[in-house]
């Protein structure tokens, strides 16, 4: 595993981080308006790989979309501030300024991104469109890089560029999504479940390439996953989300060796040990959070918590410092020490 120290060593550019403050995002649904993120404050460190982890519905995609001010109706960012080097408060950007940073400051591939490919255009033509729409000085050179990336990811570069999306397998489309995310040499690259359609072998190969390019380009990388194994292998830092709250954050090695929040412990115990005894794994009790039934008061995790106390019913746990430079929000943390 690479360490935060390694990725923080300055090489060419200082990199770009994110300072997220008091971020709240709601979705209007037919059952009412619910907060999918509530008062999230978090620093994403420049030049680190940060993993967002949590069960489905915990708010990982919403946090990543909000970080680039890309939330669309029925979602709404109702509060917060997000600062990034050279960009200012991202939540204040609009129109052309916002469009420009989507691609140049942020490179991204979102879940089920094959849907955002144009079915009527070859991949190469779409890559050129993207390069031109951002005023790239040498779109052809970028296309050549894209071809090389495709080859590094185990595909036939010429074939990929001349294909339509329907001619590619799910795993190839996923890799093409990553190429789009890297095309404009953005400083911050967000990959939302980038390897879920891949078999184990291709997953390993693609993760390795993501790590290599992260280092080569001095990127700030956010990788969203529900797989603690991917976090263990890839991430310098990890952000654990539950029901729209960051419940724990810290250096990956610290969090994995000494998880403080009972939800983090549950996620870790739910995966077989790295050495691989399936019978070791204990599925997390209870079902993933449903925004409509999250209690308004107290701790959102208490119904599933093995160390619940009476204060958890009445008071929402506040962030406390943990792992030296991370945080945790749990009433039981001192009790568990």
Ligand X SMILES: Nc1ncnc2c1ncn2[C@@H]1O[C@H](COP(=O)(O)OP(=O)(O)O)[C@@H](O)[C@H]1O
Nearer to Mg ion, 38 or 147 (CB): 38
Which CB sits closer to ligand X, 28 or 204? 28
DSSP 105-137: TEEEE-TTGGGGS-TTS-HHHHHHHHHHHTT-S
| Piece of the chain touching ligand X by CB under 6 A; list 57-65, 228-236, 270-278, 301-309 | 57-65
| Site stretch for ligand X (CB under 6 A), options 10-18, 58-66, 82-90, 126-134 | 58-66
Helix (H) or strand (E) holding 258: none
Residue 54 binds to ligand X (criterion: CB under 6 A)? yes
Distant-in-sequence contacts of 65-71, Cβ < 8 A, 24+ apart: 65/110, 66/23, 66/25, 66/37, 67/18, 67/20, 67/106, 67/190, 67/222, 68/101, 68/102, 68/106, 68/108, 68/190, 69/93, 69/98, 70/102, 70/108, 71/25
Q: Which does 58 bind (CB under 5 to 8 A by kind): Mg ion, ligand X, none?
A: ligand X
- Binding-site member from 3, 11, 22, 56 for ligand X (CB under 6 A): 56
Q: Is 58 in the site for ligand X (CB under 6 A)?
A: yes
Q: How many residues bind Mg ion (CB under 5 A)?
A: 2
Q: What angle do CA 113, 189, 219 make, to 5 degrees?
A: 155
Cα(299)–Cα(289) distance, integer angstroms: 12
By CB under 5 A, tell whether 61 contacts Mg ion.
Answer: yes
- Cβ within 8 Å of residue 275, ≥6 positions away: none
Backbone phi and psi for residue 122, each to the nearest 5 degrees, phi listed first: -65, 155
196 sits near ligand X (criterion: CB under 6 A): no
For residue 76, the minimal CB distance to ligand X (Å) is: 10
* 60 contributes a contact to ligand X by CB under 6 A: yes
Stretch that binds Mg ion, among 53-61, 174-182, 204-212, 268-276 (CB under 5 A): 53-61
Query: By rule CB under 6 A, what count of residues binds ligand X?
Result: 14
Distance (Å, whole) CA 331 – CA 159: 55
Tokens encoding 26: 């709601």
Contact partner at residue 117 from ligand X, Mg ion, none, CB < 5 to 8 Å by partner kind: none
Q: What DSSP line would sit under 9-29, residue for residue?
A: S-SSS----EEEEEEEEEEEE
Around Cβ 139, how many Cβ atoms within 10 Å? 18
Residue 62 engages Mg ion in binding (rule: CB under 5 A): no
Residue 241 DSSP SS3: strand
Q: 278 to 337, contacts with ligand X by CB under 6 A?
A: 291
Stretch that binds ligand X, among 13-21, 53-61, 80-88, 194-202 (CB under 6 A): 53-61
Using the rule CB under 6 A, give the single segment among 56-64, 80-88, 160-168, 305-313 that binds ligand X: 56-64
Q: Give me the least distance between CB of 193 and Mg ion, in Å please.
A: 6
Q: Which residues bind ligand X (CB under 6 A)?
A: 27, 29, 36, 54, 56-62, 74-75, 291
**Residues at the site binding Mg ion, with contacts judged by CB under 5 A:** 60-61
């Amino acid at each position: 595993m690479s360490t935060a120290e390694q990725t923080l060593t300055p090489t060419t550019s200082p990199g770009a981080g994110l300072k997220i403050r008091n971020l709240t995002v709601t979705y209007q649904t037919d059952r009412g308006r619910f907060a999918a993120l509530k008062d999230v404050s978090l620093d994403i460190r420049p030049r680190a790989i940060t993993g967002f982890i949590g069960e489905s519905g915990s708010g990982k995609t919403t946090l990543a979309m909000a970080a680039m001010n890309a939330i669309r109706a029925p979602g709404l960012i109702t509060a917060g501030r997000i600062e990034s080097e050279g960009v200012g408060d991202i939540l204040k950007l609009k129109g052309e300024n916002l469009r420009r940073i989507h691609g140049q400051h942020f490179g991204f591939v979102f879940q089920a991104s094959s849907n955002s490919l144009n079915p009527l255009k070859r991949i190469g033509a779409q890559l050129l469109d993207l390069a031109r729409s951002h005023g790239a000085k040498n779109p052809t050179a970028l296309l050549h890089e894209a071809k090389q990336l495709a080859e590094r990811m185990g595909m036939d570069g010429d074939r990929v560029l001349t294909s339509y999306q329907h001619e590619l397998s799910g795993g190839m489309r996923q890799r093409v999504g990553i190429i789009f995310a890297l095309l404009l040499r953005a400083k911050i690259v967000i990959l939302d479940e980038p390897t879920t359609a891949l078999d184990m072998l291709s997953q390993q190969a693609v993760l390795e390439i993501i790590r290599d390019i992260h280092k080569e380009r001095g990127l700030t990388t956010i990788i969203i996953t529900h797989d603690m194994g991917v976090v263990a292998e890839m991430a310098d830092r990890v952000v654990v989300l539950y029901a729209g709250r960051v419940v724990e954050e810290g250096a990956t090695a610290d969090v994995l060796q000494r998880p403080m929040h009972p939800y983090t412990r549950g996620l870790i115990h739910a995966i077989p040990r790295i050495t691989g005894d399936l019978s070791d794994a204990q599925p997390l009790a209870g079902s993933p959070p449903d925004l409509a039934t999250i209690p308004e008061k107290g701790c959102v995790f208490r119904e599933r918590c093995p160390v619940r106390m009476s204060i958890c019913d009445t008071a929402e746990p506040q962030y406390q410092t943990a792992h030296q430079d991370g945080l945790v929000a749990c009433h039981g943390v001192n009790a568990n020490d």
